[in-house]
Amino acid sequence: MAEDRHFSVPYDDTRDVQIRYQVIQHNLKVFIPASLPEASRMWIPNRLQEAEPTVSGPNVVYTNEISNTLNFTDGTSWTPDHQDKVGYAKQAVQSYLDTHHVNTPELQSTLSSASISGDPMQFAAQYTQGQRPGNMGQMAATEGITTPGDRGARQVLMNGFDQPAPAYVHESWHTLESNVFQGALRSPLSKDAIEGMTEYLTQQTTGLDFRRALDSEHKPSTLYSRETSALELAMKNGELSQNDVHRSYLRGSESPTGRVEAAHRHYFPDTTRKDVGAGVPLTQAPGYDSNPFSFSASQGHDTSSPGQYVPPQSQYTPYPQRPSTPRAKSPGRSAGG
């Protein structure tokens, strides 16, 4: 097992927060605290370079701590409550929308007014609706649910109050997905394709290369790896751009949406569409194209040019300023407090 090492990044005017990392051969794995604010996260590459000057670039991967607790270098710690995580998620998603110039009054209003509940009873009641008996065993490992409906009418139901902050970000993105994807009979995307875009945006928002959570056996596991792989492969190969994802997910634009679905059919042809019948492969789904990337931009209402895939760590800017105001709603307290 790899040894845990630590460095620290500024959190507010007076405190630094500890960041755990591991050296695995010539690679680094950095565990970003689940509720670390963006202003603190921007310091990570510089502080990591100071701690491990011989390792950088593609040899560094970022994932999340499963625990929500922030540990400070002065020996205190702070664990955000449900409302803290709701605020963190909404602020993080809004920052992403603003930074990428895709925010609109409708999206802003939807995000700010989104209802996010942490009541496990509400979650359980929603989860059991329409579930086959054999699927109930996955309920404990499900972080949350966003109820179906048009944008502005959806509700987020978290599976208890202790879910990690990135899970709140994931469900917050679901409140913003295009109305085009709502309704099994009229959605142009498979459930896997929608989840792939949602998780891609979650990882971009939180600065992660992949996200972890506890599975049904309470062991750390990677989330949505299959769903995001098809999307990322298409982006790396120039078949999709980040802008395509924005226009598909937020606007339901026909051209990029067709290519997002084509990516899942192409890279994972055995993926099933749950909205066309249980166990039906995408290769047998209505409208399947054996040459999926023949879908041209001129066929849709939107035009776009495939771009270069942008990994999460490229979002980081060098040498940010120390955060000037506390990011926590309450002061740091001891681990037992």
The per-residue DSSP string of 121-165 comes to HHHHHHHHTT--GGGGGGGGG--EEE--SSTTS-EEEESSTT--H
Region label for 150, one of left (φ > 0), alpha (ψ between -120 and 50) or beta (otherwise)? beta
Per-residue buried b or exposed e for 94-120, using 16+ beta carbons within 10 Å of the residue's own CB: bebbeeeebbeeebeebbeebebbbee
Query: Which residues, at least 6 apart from 168, have a Cβ–Cβ distance to it below 8 Å?
Result: 85, 86, 88, 89, 116, 144, 156, 158
Same domain, 154 and 207: no
294, pLDDT greater than 70:
no
**CB of 224 closer than 8 Å to CB of 199:** yes
Is residue 61 situated within a structural domain?
A: yes
* pLDDT tens, position by position, 130-165: 555 555 567 877 899 999 899 999 999 999 998 999
pLDDT at 220 over 70: yes
Q: Is the CB of residue 191 less than 8 Å from the CB of residue 198?
A: no
**What are the DSSP E strand ranges found in the chain?**
4-10, 16-24, 27-32, 60-64, 70-71, 77-78, 115-117, 144-146, 155-158, 212-214, 220-222
DSSP string, 155-207: EEEESSTT--HHHHHHHHHHTTS-GGG-STTT-SS-HHHHHHHHHHHHHHHHT
For the chain, the 3-state helix, strand and coil shares in percent, each to the nearest 5, are: 40, 15, 45
Do 100 and 86 share a domain, yes or no? yes
Q: Classify residue 181: in a domain, yes or no.
A: no
More confident residue, 334 or 16: 16
**Percent of residues, the chain, with pLDDT higher than 90:** 48
* Residue whose tokens read 């086959």: 132
pLDDT score of 308 more than 90:
no
Mean pLDDT of 84-102: 95
HSE of 103, CA atoms in CB hemisphere, 13 A: 18
For 65-80, how does the pLDDT look when each residue is reduced to its tens digit (9 = 90+)? 998 999 999 999 999 9
Q: Do 68 and 85 lie in a common domain?
A: no
Work out how many domains the chain is built from and give that number: 3
Alpha-carbon Rg for the chain, nearest whole angstrom, is 20
3-state secondary structure of 5: strand
Residues 48, 24 share a domain: yes
- Amino acid 199: pLDDT: 96
- Is residue 57 included in any domain, yes or no? yes
* pLDDT greater at residue 220 or residue 326: 220
* pLDDT tens digit sequence for 161-181: 989 999 999 999 999 999 988
Q: Look at residue 134 in the predicted model and tell me its pLDDT.
A: 52
Same-domain pairing of 71 and 89: no
Examine the fold and report which residue of 59, 79, 99 is the final residue of a domain before the chain moves on.
79
* Mean pLDDT for the chain overall: 79
User: Domain check: are 47 and 61 in the same one?
Assistant: yes
State yes or no: pLDDT of 313 exceeds 50: no
Sign of the Cα pseudo-torsion (287, 293, 297, 303, in order): positive
Q: What is the reported pTM?
A: 0.81
Tell me: do 208 and 171 sit in the same domain. no
Residues 295 and 250 in one domain: yes
**pLDDT tens digits, 234-289:** 898 888 999 999 999 999 988 889 889 888 888 876 655 444 333 444 444 444 44
- At 35-75, the pLDDT tens digits run 898 999 999 999 999 999 887 777 899 999 998 999 999 99
CA distances in angstroms from 297 to 87, 231, 254, listed in the order given: 38, 18, 9
Direct distance between the N- and C-terminal alpha carbons of the chain, in angstroms, rounded to an integer: 31
Residue 123 sits in the same domain as residue 217: no
**Same domain for 132 and 74?**
no
Whether residue 98 lies inside any domain: the answer is yes
For residue 105, tell me if it sits in a domain. Answer: yes
- 219 — pLDDT class (breaks 50, 70, 90): confident
Other CB atoms closer than 10 Å to residue 325's CB: what's the count?
A: 7
Distance CA 89, CA 111 (A): 10
Q: Would you state the pLDDT for residue 192? A: 86
- In-domain check, residue 182: no
55 and 109 assigned to the same domain: no
Poorest-confidence range of 85-99, 131-145, 323-337? 323-337
* Distance (Å, whole) CA 145 – CA 158: 6
Q: Choose the final residue of a domain: 79, 100, 129.
A: 79
In a domain, 220, yes or no: yes
Cα–Cα distance for residue pair 275/187, rounded to 1 Å: 8
Q: Which residues contact 241 (CB under 8 A, 6 or more apart)?
A: 235, 304, 305, 306, 307, 308
**Structural domain contains residue 185:** no
Residues 88, 51 within the same domain:
no
Query: Which structural domain, as residue segments, surrounds residue 159?
Result: 81-176
Confidence grade of residue 185 (pLDDT, cut at 50, 70, 90)? low
